[in-house]
Amino acid sequence: MGLIVQKYGGSSLANAEAIGHVAGRIVAAAETGTKVVVVVSAMGNTTDNLFDLAHRVALVPAPRELDLLLSTGEIVSSTLLAMALRSRGRDAIAFSGAQAGIRTNQSHGMARIAFVEPQRIVSELDLGKIVVVAGFQGITDEMDVTTLGRGASDLSAVALAAALKADICEVYTDVEGVYTADPRLVPKARKMDRIGFEEMLEMASYGAKMNPRSIEFGMTYNMKILVASSISNVPGTLIHQGDTMDQTVGEIRNRVRSVLTDKDVAMITLKETKDCPGVAAAIFEPLAAASISIDEIVQSVGAEGVTDLSFTVKRAEADQALEVATEVAREMSGVEVSSLSDVAKISIVGTVMQDAPGYAAQMFRVLADQGINIEMITTSDIRITCIVDDSRVEAAAKALHTVFGLDNLN
Amino acid sequence: MGLIVQKYGGSSLANAEAIGHVAGRIVAAAETGTKVVVVVSAMGNTTDNLFDLAHRVALVPAPRELDLLLSTGEIVSSTLLAMALRSRGRDAIAFSGAQAGIRTNQSHGMARIAFVEPQRIVSELDLGKIVVVAGFQGITDEMDVTTLGRGASDLSAVALAAALKADICEVYTDVEGVYTADPRLVPKARKMDRIGFEEMLEMASYGAKMNPRSIEFGMTYNMKILVASSISNVPGTLIHQGDTMDQTVGEIRNRVRSVLTDKDVAMITLKETKDCPGVAAAIFEPLAAASISIDEIVQSVGAEGVTDLSFTVKRAEADQALEVATEVAREMSGVEVSSLSDVAKISIVGTVMQDAPGYAAQMFRVLADQGINIEMITTSDIRITCIVDDSRVEAAAKALHTVFGLDNLN
């Protein structure tokens, strides 16, 4: 008898009707005879609303209490879904993260799963019940409730799937899978049938809606993850170890897997900073103290002991970051600070880039042919990212999607 | 060093501003040097909203899941209040019922407190923290969350006060205390400074806003309860064992303590039912099966083996109760069913009634002098209740308040 773990996101559980719809899908899965464990996020915008409420009563809400507060969102959706399943004639039981045996360390707001004690889930499954677990949360040895970070219901699902040795972890969401590019920008973007964990990890960090740690977890425990729509019956995208991937003709022919874009980017540059130890720390420590999240950092090779240092932040934090950077620059003689708030990030991703050269050059050529200036370049083993003017990102994405052969696949 | 338990109701915690106000009051109490444990209800209408949501996903929500769902309301308010206290410079910690050590049996929806394990609360108090506990909830030996019944945050507060051997349990609400009558009907109604547990128990059942089991708990453990306003600084009403009460001049002179009224009453009568075993069961079993709550029941002494049987229900359930009663009567030959939907309940309460005769006669005389017809009479040791036409209940309440010397006390 098989066992699957399904995860449903908040937009799939936004109200009573949506919960009823999801219950219908779960019942259909259970009727194939497989055991089913369901992990849920909080309904709709619940988590954001609770977060806002906390910030209305306290400037800096206590992390322990914030976790206990936010954990209620997933408990609400798990209990409602269990009720909906029972009203459809399937026995079901709802568990908080604590009851599901998800044990974590004490890092409130970003707790790490220490281990999973799935005994009670196993007993209830053996009694024929569908088990519905509140995602996003766990409990410490001291019985303090923790949360695992934003979007971490995915992580709860993959961790439970691994602990229960499930056949697959199915993540249902409001999109039909993972795409080769943002379909709003690139009309020829297509859904991928399969993708490797590593590639998905880069994509997760660049806009696709899976928690990166859940992908790492899937990779570590070799747990297949299917990302699919909670509404349609389109097959979705299977995220897996990728061993069979290179064997398919399509995969070999097409080494760049996707084009990613992000318009929520602002770039700040400190020109002619001293190229000596301690300078980067002097710049980024005050930014960290101001709780500003830095995305990409590039330090150029400079002449005569000086260098240019650029970094990107989210646009909402651009003004504050500029202010902090200007303050820092004031204490360094000769440093000039500038910012660009209308830039965007465009990336190409594919594991095969790590073995084959020339992808970067090809990308830069495509952008040059379009007359698009590159403000900044960063790379990882399987990704190349350029910062460009945001009015040109759509044209860039379309051109790259075509040139790297993504328009006409499958 | 003293220890007090304070309880705040949902209307005192309706939004962020109200929570801030309550936090200010708690800080003021803590600054006198006493240890403070706070028990909270859910914010505003949260519990009703969660209940409605459950009934939108399932006709009959599973009791275990309903409890887990409803328990989130008090967790939300407890965490927000702890955050608000910390933002006012007082260290505070929020606990769910489970974390507070409130252990119950498994009767979901109406669980009984088995015992309280207050060790963690004691440790946190010893560290100088204000402890905020989610009311209304506990946990079973199997780690299943239970709720203690509607309004049972009062019970959580009194039980914790007893377990912690607190000096007093202070229940803060949206009224200034317990009144001699409903001030909306009887302008001369006054707030009582003190009242005995037994009298309060009758009043709790008749409109005043304290959970009756919490009063029983206070009586059993001899824990003084102060009911007072969460807004004003009026002293409130002290509910206590009453040993000193008879010693005050006011108490001796004035044996009737209060006049209670309730307009949410409908009365149904079955005339000429057979006066033989099993008849009452035949009537009330189908009503119970239809989940209709019966309030008062009176069976009159009948002639020639027949008797009249009357009972009262809430008005919202009157139509359904009449339908069930008519159905039952159809199977009993010669029984006639009638209903009165525009009646009200008026009661006088006082412990001294149990020792001194004549109060009932005096009450009936007052009503007769006002030309008010009595539809039904019921009594307890310390209470006499009449059902009258609801258009006359205000006049009846005023007259009784005056005759029993309640207008000019203190």
Q: Residue A327 belongs to a domain with what CATH number?
A: 3.30.2130.10
pLDDT at A272: 82
Least CB–CB distance from A58: residue in B65, B72, B86: B86
Structural domain includes residue A9 = yes
A contacts of B106 (beta carbons < 8 Å):
none
Choose between B319 and A380: higher pLDDT.
B319
Q: Which of A26, A55, A65 to mutate to test the interface with B (most CBs of B within 10 A)?
A: A65
pLDDT at B85: 98
In the predicted model, what is the mean pLDDT of residues A119-130?
97
Least CB–CB distance from B65: residue in A57, A61, A79: A79
pLDDT at B254: 56
pLDDT at A204: 64
pLDDT at B290: 86
pLDDT at B248: 47
Q: What is the DSSP letter of B294?
A: E
Q: Which residues of chain B have pLDDT under 50?
A: 244-253
Q: Which of A15, A60, A67, A69 to mutate to test the interface with B (most CBs of B within 10 A)?
A: A69
User: What is the percent of chain A where pLDDT is above 70?
Assistant: 94
In this structure, are B173 and B220 located in the same domain? yes
The ipTM is 0.80
Domain coverage including residue A230: 3-253
Q: Residue B80's closest chain A neighbor by CA?
A: A54
Residue type, A316: A
Do A101 and A61 meet the contact criterion of CB atoms below 8 Å apart? no
Q: Which of A26, A83, A143, A144 to mutate to test the interface with B (most CBs of B within 10 A)?
A: A83
Structural domain includes residue A110 = yes
B contacts of A98 (beta carbons < 8 Å):
143
pLDDT at B205: 60
Last residue of a domain, one of A253, A270, A301: A253
Residue type, A74: E
Interface list for chain B against chain A, based on CB atoms closer than 8 Å: 16, 19-20, 23, 50, 53-54, 56-62, 64-66, 68-69, 71-72, 75-76, 78-84, 86-87, 92-94, 96, 98-99, 143-145
Structural domain includes residue B410 = no
Structural domain includes residue B318 = yes
Distance, in Å, from the CA atom of B101 to the CA atom of A57, rounded to the nearest integer, reads: 27
Whether the predicted pLDDT of A207 surpasses 60: no
Count how many domains chain A has: 2
**In B99-212, beta strands by DSSP E:** 102-104, 113-116, 130-134, 137-139, 145-147, 168-173, 194-196
In this structure, are B245 and B264 located in the same domain? no
Report the run of H or E that residue B238 belongs to, with start and end: strand B237-240
Q: Which domain CATH number covers B138?
A: 3.40.1160.10
Tally of residues, chain B: 410
Q: What is the DSSP letter of B129?
A: P
Distance, in Å, from the CA atom of A285 to the CA atom of A308, rounded to the nearest integer, reads: 18
Least CB–CB distance from A58: residue in B83, B96, B145: B83
A contacts of B19 (beta carbons < 8 Å):
57
In this structure, are B238 and B263 located in the same domain? no
Structural domain includes residue B121 = yes
Do B94 and B40 meet the contact criterion of CB atoms below 8 Å apart? no
Do A386 and A376 meet the contact criterion of CB atoms below 8 Å apart? yes
In this structure, are A142 and A184 located in the same domain? yes
A contacts of B71 (beta carbons < 8 Å):
75
Report the run of H or E that residue A114 belongs to, with start and end: strand A113-116
- The winner for highest mean pLDDT among A84-88, A270-274, B338-342 is A84-88
In this structure, are A263 and A169 located in the same domain? no
In the predicted model, what is the mean pLDDT of residues A259-284?
86
In this structure, are A366 and A340 located in the same domain? yes
pLDDT at B351: 79
Q: In B48-65, which positions are buried (b, 16+ CB within 10 angstroms) versus exposed (e)? A: eebbebbebbbeebbebb
Instruction: Tell the residue number behind the tokens 């490797």, with chain if given.
Output: A196
Choose between A86 and B178: higher pLDDT.
A86
Report the run of H or E that residue A265 belongs to, with start and end: strand A258-274
User: What is the percent of chain A where pLDDT is above 90?
Assistant: 62
pLDDT in tens, A224-249: 999 999 988 888 999 998 654 444 44
Distance, in Å, from the CA atom of A296 to the CA atom of A317, rounded to the nearest integer, reads: 14
In this structure, are A177 and A317 located in the same domain? no
Whether the predicted pLDDT of A401 surpasses 90: yes
In this structure, are A333 and A366 located in the same domain? yes
Gap from A124 CA to chain B (nearest CA, Å): 13
Q: Residue B81's closest chain A neighbor by CA?
A: A57
The helix/strand/coil state of A91 is: coil
Of A157, A182, A181, the C-alpha closest to A171 is: A157
Q: Are strands B3-8 and B168-173 parallel, antiparallel or unpaired?
A: parallel
In this structure, are B293 and B156 located in the same domain? no
In this structure, are A263 and A247 located in the same domain? no
Q: Residue B20's closest chain A neighbor by CA?
A: A57
A contacts of B65 (beta carbons < 8 Å):
79-80, 82-83, 86, 93-94
Structural domain includes residue B408 = no
CA distances from B410 to B175, B190, B191, B398 (A): 19, 9, 10, 18
- Residue A6 pairs in a beta bridge with A38, A170
What would the two tokens of residue B375 be? 């539809």
Interface list for chain A against chain B, based on CB atoms closer than 8 Å: 16, 19-20, 23, 50, 53-54, 56-62, 64-66, 68-69, 71-72, 75-76, 78-84, 86-87, 92-94, 96, 98-99, 143-145
B contacts of A20 (beta carbons < 8 Å):
57
pLDDT in tens, A279-291: 788 888 888 888 8
- Lowest-pLDDT choice from A152-166, A353-367, B328-342: A353-367
In this structure, are B129 and B267 located in the same domain? no
The answer to whether the CB atoms of B65 and A83 lie below 8 A apart is yes
Last residue of a domain, one of A191, A223, A253: A253
In this structure, are B70 and B203 located in the same domain? yes
Structural domain includes residue A409 = no
The answer to whether the CB atoms of B66 and A80 lie below 8 A apart is no
Last residue of a domain, one of A253, A282, A303: A253
Structural domain includes residue A408 = no
